[in-house]
Structure 1
Amino acid sequence: MTRRRRHLPAAVLAVVVALATGCADRPDTALRPDPPAITYAPPKQPFRDATLHVDADTAAARWQARNGADWLDPITDRPQARWVNDPRDVPPVRQLAARARQRGELPVLVAYWIPNRGCANSREGAPDVQAYRDYIGALVAALGNTRSVVVMEPDAIAADCFDAARARVLTDATMRLAAAGHAVYLDAGHSRWRSTGETAERLLASGITYAEGFAVNVSNRQTTADSYRWGRELSDLVGDREFVIDTSRNGAGPPPDEPGRDDEWCNPKRQALGEAPRPVTDRPGLAALLWIKAPGESDGVCGGEKTYLFTPTQARTLIADAPWLSAADRAAARAARPAPVVDQE
């Protein structure tokens, strides 16, 4: 596979320049070699001229069908990512891939089972590296020859427990998915988490040279404008790799950052659907706006919710307060009286 070469990121070059300036009076300065180059895989550009796949088997779509809730159309009629949270989620991917291939659509999936997923030696995620490698292999097999976008491991790179071992796991998974023809976007966190310099170092250690690019704002509520600014700055540090932004629930921006409380981040009262998912051609570096986090999915037992699953009350808020939706769509959501959540799985 042909791969293009690029010099070290600007942040690293700045260090090289500073060192060179400090040694300008040394006679051997002119003999100093150029900084080493980093080789990047050629871009696949999966979103160019693509139609995103609308998954008919989401929790929101199943609830809508059971309850005749047409007011949910603004969510269920639009493309969303399919999360593959453990090996049990892999077999249904085969059917998803087949449907997308038959329709000539591009499916978006999220790989989310890295060992120690929640940090602090948690039992979340794969029990060990080999189990994770088996999971990635099964995912590759389930996708078959359906070329797909895979968002790789939300929070894994920005997390406090990121280390060299985790970087190796991510690099291996990225290489295998990319070699199978899929476009991998490593999750980079969001604009209010880590600096672009630190994030770039972690992306470079985690296989960004093999990936299509990175994802910004997954499951978060930072504005699209701020996410784009941060993404452009980060892209410049990692070989101009393209990026995607999760707009599934950022239409109202982030909740208030008030001292002494973080409950507003968990099912906040003020939230809304962000821009509709679609490929993007008019913003340099940005490949697509996506709904990666499933709209209407609860953040947990908080904000009046008692589940981590889809709830119609969350979906209703997202639709009712989305400024870009039609007045009729918003009014229908406000008028809805969602039934209790039962038997989602």
Structure 2
Amino acid sequence: MRLPSLFTAASASLATASVLPRQDTSSYPTHDRGNPFIGKSYYVNPAYAEKLNTTLNSFLAKNDALNAARTRAALNVGTFVWVSNMASLPNIDAAIEGARAAKEATGKDQIVGLVLYDLPNRDCSAGESAGEFDLDKDGLNRYKTEFVDPYAAAVGAAEDVSFAIVLEPDSLGNAVTNSGIEFCNKSIPAYKEGIAYAIEKLQFEHVSLYIDAAHGGWLGWDGNLEPTAAVMAEVLSLAGPSAKIRGFSINVSNYNPYRSAYREAFTEWSNSWDESHYATSLSAHLTEKGLPAHFIVDQGRVALPGARAEWGEWCNVNPTGFGMRPTTKTGNRNVDSIVWIKPGGESDGACGMEGAPRAGEWFDEFAQMLVNNAQPCLEPVWPPSPLDEPEDA
């Protein structure tokens, strides 16, 4: 599930910026249910917190009390729950019960972030996160009946819980730039049909859907913006005339900053040189297609300035840190929320940093780096001192 090396193919010759029409985001009567994150707590995924405890213990073993305390802060950050194969479908029920327990304990409504990620022939241009369904083996039908249907049934039954669901990271970007790859060209029609089917099945009032729109380094080039909006409009149309989405997710599992004070050299010819600019660049084209120009932006990890020589570097980038914490105070009217979608510390694959494990496995050295380089810094959470403990009555 990674950025293909061909993302600049449609834009390498662009040396001047196009003039975009003025955006009008005043109303989306057929799509807009309001920002679903406002007034809610971001659900803290205990499974991810358990992995971070490994990193906390690593810092303690090195007598690094400060970074251990910073890791405790990360334990309390809301993160998305990934449902990326049939075996992980029970993660939905676990999140529902966890959100109910959190509301009971805190009195605060929760919003559960989920990722739906199991298309047939998944990751057609990279292959590090290939899925379990093969188009040549009835993969599209199996995706619908064995993955999407039970996914929708679990979510639909929990009417007392709010959900924000990201649909199929890094899939439709291939429809914009990578149809020249034979395997992608074969897979793209199934991507469109599969995502449309998921949209149709997830039409619940307590669910806000965000189709993944890759990131600014891939689709943010001027020549890719209109085709991206066209693909999104096609998919939503396939979902049926009454189908609704809230918007789009960007930068999922990537490393781009939301707002960068330092412009990297490889962004020179792009108006989408950070993710806030990408959201603004794409929004006008979405509006022209009648689509809702609302975004959530993954900042679960952000590359430090100078960490990458080119935008196409996607695997366990070093150095990287945890990014902005989840918030609806985004400074961009098109952006609903900053979120943490990719679980920081899970490897991108056996590539990038030396010693990296397979995709999805815990990479503790990388997680330690995220804590140490977090921007803004994580506020330390210190364990209670024995002197703070109440005396026995």
Does residue 1:290 correspond to 2:342, yes or no?
A: no
2:194 to 169, 176, 179: 169
Q: 1:63 aligns to what?
A: 54
Is this contact kept in 2: 1:196–1:230, CA < 8 A? no
5 Å-filtered alignment, 1:288-327, equals 288-302=337-351, 303-307=353-357, 308=359, 309-326=361-378
Aligned counterparts of 1:212 and 1:231: Cα–Cα separation in 2: 14
- How has the CA–CA distance of structure 1 residues 258 and 67 changed in structure 2, closer, same or farther, with 3 Å as cutoff? closer
Q: Deviations over 1:116-168 (max 9, x none)?
A: 10226976243412211121111122222222111000011102226344212
Q: 1:336 aligns to what?
A: none
Aligned counterparts of 2:97 and 2:298: Cα–Cα separation in 1: 25
Q: What displacement does 1:251 show?
A: 5.3
Aligned counterparts of 1:294 and 1:286: Cα–Cα separation in 2: 21
The TM-score, its normalising length taken from structure 1, stands at 0.76
Q: What displacement does 1:175 show?
A: 1.9
- How has the CA–CA distance of structure 1 residues 236 and 125 changed in structure 2, closer, same or farther, with 3 Å as cutoff? farther
- How has the CA–CA distance of structure 1 residues 241 and 82 changed in structure 2, closer, same or farther, with 3 Å as cutoff? same
Is this contact kept in 2: 1:273–1:321, CA < 8 A? yes
Is this contact kept in 1: 2:40–2:110, CA < 8 A? yes
Task: Tell me the SS of whatever aligns to 2:366.
Answer: helix
Q: What displacement does 1:281 show?
A: 5.7
Task: Tell me the SS of whatever aligns to 2:321.
Answer: coil
Is this contact kept in 2: 1:106–1:149, CA < 8 A? yes
Aligned counterparts of 2:57 and 2:140: Cα–Cα separation in 1: 40
Q: Deviations over 1:189-214 (max 9, x none)?
A: 11011222121111111228621100
5 Å-filtered alignment, 1:104-115, equals 104-115=109-120
Task: Tell me the SS of whatever aligns to 1:83.
Answer: strand
Q: What displacement does 1:65 show?
A: 8.0
Gap runs ≥5 in structure 1: 1-10, 15-37, 330-345
Aligned counterparts of 2:153 and 2:227: Cα–Cα separation in 1: 34
Does residue 1:49 correspond to 2:39, yes or no?
A: yes
Q: 2:153 aligns to what?
A: 141
Gap runs ≥5 in structure 2: 1-17, 22-27, 61-67, 104-108, 179-183, 238-242, 260-273, 382-393
Q: What displacement does 1:287 show?
A: 0.4
Q: 1:189 aligns to what?
A: 214
Amino acid at match of 1:223: P
Is this contact kept in 2: 1:168–1:205, CA < 8 A? no
Aligned counterparts of 1:89 and 1:112: Cα–Cα separation in 2: 10
Q: Deviations over 1:234-283 (max 9, x none)?
A: 12222342100000111525732259xx7x53222211111011223642
Q: 1:89 aligns to what?
A: 88
The TM-score, its normalising length taken from structure 2, stands at 0.67
Aligned counterparts of 1:220 and 1:190: Cα–Cα separation in 2: 8
Does residue 1:211 correspond to 2:261, yes or no?
A: no
1 or 2 for the larger relative contact order (CA 8 Å, sep ≥6)? 2
5 Å-filtered alignment, 1:203-282, equals 203-207=232-236, 210-225=244-259, 226-238=274-286, 239-250=291-302, 252=304, 255-257=307-309, 265-280=314-329, 282=331
5 Å-filtered alignment, 1:107-126, equals 107-119=112-124, 124-126=131-133
Q: What displacement does 1:327 show?
A: 7.7
Is this contact kept in 1: 2:330–2:338, CA < 8 A? no
